[in-house]
Amino acid sequence: MASNLKEIRKLSIEKLNTRLTDCYESITNMRFQKALGDLEYPQKIRAVKKEIAQIKTILRENDLKIEESNS
């Protein structure tokens, strides 16, 4: 699931939002699996959380660029 930051930056805003939704769904599933003791690799939660943070950062940077250009 985790990808290179350069690859994430190349994605369009729509794809970033879709990917963000997918990450939230997968982390929710992983938390349930962890609670049940079924999660095989608990370190994946950290990787997904990192990817969520990267996507949110890129989306915010894009928002700021759009606001700057309108000013």
Task: Tell the residue number behind the tokens 């000013």, with chain if given.
Answer: 71
Q: What is the pLDDT of residue 30?
A: 96
34: number of CA atoms within 13 Å, CB side? 12
The predicted-structure confidence for 20-64, as pLDDT tens digits, reads as follows 999 999 999 999 999 999 999 999 999 999 999 999 999 999 999
Could you give the CA distance from residue 44 to residue 26 in angstroms, rounded to a whole number?
Answer: 10
Q: What is the pLDDT of residue 67?
A: 79
Whole-number Cα distances in Å, 70 to 53, 59, 63, 67? 26, 17, 11, 5
Q: What is the pLDDT of residue 1?
A: 52
CATH class of 5-70: mainly alpha
41: number of CA atoms within 13 Å, CB side? 6
